[in-house]
Structure 1
Amino acid sequence: MLKLPFELFVGLRYTRAKRRNGFISFISFSSIIGIALGVTALITVLSIMNGFQEELRDRILGMTAHMTITEQHEHLSDWQPLYEQVKQQPDILGAAPNIMEQGMLTYNGKVKGVAIRGILPVYENEVGDIAQKMRYGSLEALKPGQFSIILGKELALSLGVSIGDKVTLIAPQGSVSAVGIIPRIKRFTIVGFFEAGMHEYDSGLALIHLKDAQTLFKYGDSVSGLQLKIDDLFRVGEVKQELANHLQQTLYVRDWRQQHLNFFKAIEMEKRMMFIVLALIIMVAAFNIVSTMVMVVTDKQADIAVLRTLGATPNSIQWIFIIQGLVIGLFGALLGLVGGISLASNIDVIVPFIENLLGFKFFPPDVYYISQVPSKIIWSDVYSVSGIAFILTLLATLYPARKAAKVQPAEALRYE
């Protein structure tokens, strides 16, 4: 038969034993439930925020490339040799040239400022998912010299246009005449609409053919830059360094983290604040353990005195109550761990059930771009939450355990 250490045996026996004071048992139970609820809430909320972050990142990167190569102060000329050069790199999955400029679209007296992106449809599918986001028409409808245009869905609704309508595009690059600088104006035929699920793109982006953009914005044979798609978007720093070592010419490389730095920083900051706020639930439960253990020590003073007279050292008494407190905390943490992982893994089933039960939607499709609650469990978050719960539980047992170790046998047994 396995022989447990003295301190572990007594500590577990105290945990299993029926206490004479029912109130102490109730507080112990409430402490376990409090830690379990805190851990469950923290894992679930962090998983939902990870899901939102991943969903937004996928939507953004579906419309933009992982990296963009440009000239620092001028247009990128001779992009074809550069395209062949970067395509030979093992980490590069695709590349596509583009032109990014600003302009104004007008239709029936309505005016909208938009970002104009000139693309080559045959290359664009290598770096983005715009083709999958088309609601009407296709990228192949953009033909050079035909001056056709594809608009975001919200942009089209705000202008009140449909397929086949002609809109006027005004470019800031003007032509010099005797009366001054005249803006360049060109009529474009609408051949399609896309819906990216991001307000920034759906309401302010228009796509035209690269050749038409070069003509309108006076680029000649140059482009704004070369967009790249890599095999692992989180290795952009390493790939950027490899490109710098490989490319012969001096170029400027900008990755997706730099382009959307403030946006992702705001999401990360919100995640940290939610972590701190919800960790307070675990701290409250840990304080309950302190109060529980203090009352247990008071209730067991006679037992402590008997153990001391039988030869138990103050250190042994201290470990008995540390073990008892840790058992309460570990049970709570394990219950919360199971509950949090189960809840986060089935959030796609639980949320619709609650919506049907209450009769309303948390994210109506006509208001929010994300109509379902996404969830992604990152195990490093789970380990962090579990570690914090364990450490807080351990800290909560130290004061009551030290108090138990200081009990004097003669004082405790005086009135017994």
Structure 2
Amino acid sequence: MFKPLPVAIGLRYLRAKRRNGFISFISLASILGIALGVAALITTLSVMSGFQIEIRDRMLQMVSHATVTGYGEPVYGWREVDQDIRRNPDVVGVAPYVEKETLLTGQRNQPAMVRGVEPALEPQVSVISSKVTSGKFSDLQPGSFNIIVGSELAQWLGVSVGDKVTLMTSDYRITPVSAVPQLKRFTVSGIFSAGYNEYDRGMAFVHMQDLQRVLRIGEGVTGLRVKVRDMDKASIVAGQLNTALRGQYQVSDWSRENINMFRALKMEKTLMGILLSLIIAMGAFNLVSSQVMLVTDKQADIAILRTLGFSPGGVMRTFMVQGSLIGIIGTLAGVIFGVLLTLNLENILQAIEAVFGVQLLPEDVYYITGLPTDMRLSDILTISAVSLTMAFLATLYPAWRAARTAPAEALRYE
């Protein structure tokens, strides 16, 4: 088969046994370094993407895809607003809510966000009803003044089902004697566990009418929570709702409300990728060393090729081919190993826990029982491109040095 001469010679150098075994060792180290870096990057980014999706999904179980609220005041006539929202074909659920930052008192005090909901409508926008581990979500009846608290909040307050907690708001009631805070005793009728610390530690639910009576806002609500058909299009739907409501209400979506957290997760993933790329860079530096030593070892061969009419550009391409092939082999091996490692990471984790008798991901700390992964083709292609680029750049200086070899000087002592 016809091959360009630089490619044929480069392949020959790659297969040939080296007179200097140390050069072969450095070449092997370069391949292993690149492969290790690529595999580590694929696995790490897959795990971080998996954690991002896990956090997002758990958060969105409790957070609505979009929210319609008033501009700093309660929304009255929310049933008409509800009808306007439901006219959007991408909306699959709407539920009103009343929300207030309070101080709950049991055996100890704890600030918590208390949300008043309609038990019949709330399942349309969240899964809180399925997260109740003790009691029933349907126990939230108007006038009962029952409250469902998060598992960690209940533990901190030292309460269980049937106990009383006192709810205190920042609103004050004027009496002939003095101003006193709004206080109301509620009965703990249930405990929920969302698997997300922010809600398990700082969230409680009551019936919407009960909280309206405590806050003395009549039929007003804080806003309406909206669930859309495709949560990735929530920002688009939010814009459509804002137009349909003629800007009379404030409309936001989950990505905008939690933008700081998702930016932090994205930045963490990016920085981790940059740091782990240094492993690939280490393999590339080894590639530079091996190629420089190979050029020195092949001085006589280069001189003979030059005397036979081989151009400096041809010499340069020869060593670039040889070095690039090392990068391709290392990258390909790293992709295969990284994909296999990611696909079997859960089994490997379980094996390590079984052998050493430890729990690497305690459920009470990380809220998960396994190691979530999300291997994305875009990440693999990006990592492969970075690896191949580093390997290609690593061949430029040794190849340029080989092209500058003077035939007479190289053959003087041969």
TM range (shorter): over 0.9
Q: Give the match for residue 333 of structure 2.
A: 335
Query: 2:296 — aligned with what?
Result: 298
CA deviation after TM superposition for structure 1 residue 178, in Å: 1.0
Q: Distance in 1 between matches of 2:242 and 2:106?
A: 45
The code of the aligned residue for 1:145 comes to G
Partner of 2:202: 204
Measure how far apart 1:197 and its partner are: 1.5
In structure 2, distance between residues paired with 1:238 and 1:227:
16
Within a 5 Å distance, the mapping from 1:399-414 to structure 2 comes to 399-414=397-412
Between the aligned partners of 2:340 and 2:85, the Cα distance in structure 1 is 44
AA at the equivalent of 1:36: A
Partner of 1:262: 260
Deviating more after overlay: 207-216 vs 137-146: 137-146
Please tell me the residue identity of whatever aligns with 2:18.
R
Matches within 5 A, 1:84-95: 84-95=83-94
1:378 Cα deviation (Å)? Answer: 2.0
Cα deviation for residue 261 of structure 1 reads 2.6
* Cα distance, 1:344 vs structure 2: 1.5
Q: How far does the alpha carbon of each residue in 1:315-349 deviate from its partner, in whole angstroms, 9 at most, with x for none?
A: 11111110100110110001111111111122111
Tell me if structure 1 keeps the 8 A contact 2:242–2:250: no
Q: How does 1:53-72 map to 2 (within 5 A)?
A: 53-72=52-71
Aligned to 1:115: 113
Deviation at 1:24, TM superposition (A): 0.8
- Give 3-state SS (helix, strand or coil) of 2:364's partner: coil
Q: Distance in 2 between matches of 1:364 and 1:28?
A: 42
Alignment length, in residue pairs? 414
**Match for residue 218 of structure 2?**
220
Is 1:130 matched with 2:122? no
Deviation at 1:26, TM superposition (A): 0.8
Q: How does 1:6-405 map to 2 (within 5 A)?
A: 6-108=5-107, 110-405=108-403
Q: Secondary structure at the match of 2:266?
A: helix
Please tell me the residue identity of whatever aligns with 1:9: A
Cα deviation code 1:36-82 (max 9, x no counterpart): 00011111111111111111111111111121111112111111121
1:331-379 residue CA offsets vs partner (Å, 9 max, x unmatched): 0001111111111122111111111122211122233323422111122
Helix, strand or coil at the partner of 1:47 = helix
Distance 2:284 2:97 in 1: 57
Instruction: Tell me the CA shift for residue 114 of structure 1.
Output: 1.4
User: What is the Cα deviation at residue 249 of structure 1?
Assistant: 4.6
Per-residue CA deviations over 1:211-269 (Å, capped at 9, x if unaligned) read 11111111211110111122332323322222222223521112222322332222222
What is the identity, as a one-letter code, of the residue corresponding to 2:277? A
Tell me if the contact between 2:153 and 2:201 (Cα under 8 Å) persists in the aligned partners: yes
SS at match of 2:383: helix
Which residue identity lines up with residue 388 of structure 1 in the other structure? V
Query: Which region of structure 1 is more displaced relative to structure 2, 196-205 or 243-252?
Result: 243-252
Deviation of 1:106 (Å) = 2.0
Which string of whole-angstrom CA distances, capped at 9 and with x for unpartnered residues, describes residues 290-333 of structure 1?
00001111111111112112221111111111010011011000
Q: Residue 20 of structure 2 aligns to which amino acid in structure 1?
A: N
- Which range moved further: 182-191 or 208-217? 182-191
Mapped partners of 1:167, 1:390: distance in 2: 62
Cα RMSD between the aligned structures? 1.5
Rounded Cα–Cα distance in structure 2 between residues aligned with 1:28 and 1:293: 8
CA-CA distance at 1:86 after TM superposition: 1.4
Moved more, 80-89 or 255-264: 255-264
User: Could you tell me the TM-score, scaled by structure 1's length?
Assistant: 0.96
Instruction: Report the Cα distance in structure 2 between the residues aligned to 1:35 and 1:50, rounded to whole angstroms.
Output: 22
Write the distance in 2 (CA, Å) between the matches of 1:17 and 1:199.
Answer: 60
Partner-residue secondary structure (3-state), 1:43 = helix
1:31 maps to amino acid: S
SS at match of 1:370: coil
Distance 1:9 1:119 in 2: 74
Deviates more, 1:366-375 or 1:58-67: 366-375
Task: Work out the CA distance in 1 between the residues paired with 2:323 and 2:119.
Answer: 65
User: Displacement of 1:117 after TM fit?
Assistant: 0.3
The answer for unaligned runs of 5 or more in structure 2 is none
Structure 1: gaps (5+ residues): none
TM-score, with normalisation over the residues of structure 2? Answer: 0.96
SS of the aligned residue for 1:366 comes to: helix
Please give the per-residue CA displacement for 1:12-37, whole angstroms capped at 9, x wherever unaligned: 11111111111111111110000000
Residue identity matched to 1:127: V
Between 1:395-404 and 1:266-275, the stretch displaced more is 266-275
Matched residue of 1:12: which SS? helix
Structure 1's consecutive aligned runs of 4 or more residues displaced over 6 angstroms after TM superposition are none
* Cα displacement (A) at 1:94: 1.5
2:56 and 2:297 map into 1 onto residues whose CA distance is 56
In structure 2, distance between residues paired with 1:168 and 1:247: 38
Is the 2:235–2:255 Cα contact (8 Å) retained in structure 1? Answer: no
CA shift digits 1:374-413 (9 cap, x unpaired): 1111222111111110100000000000111111222212
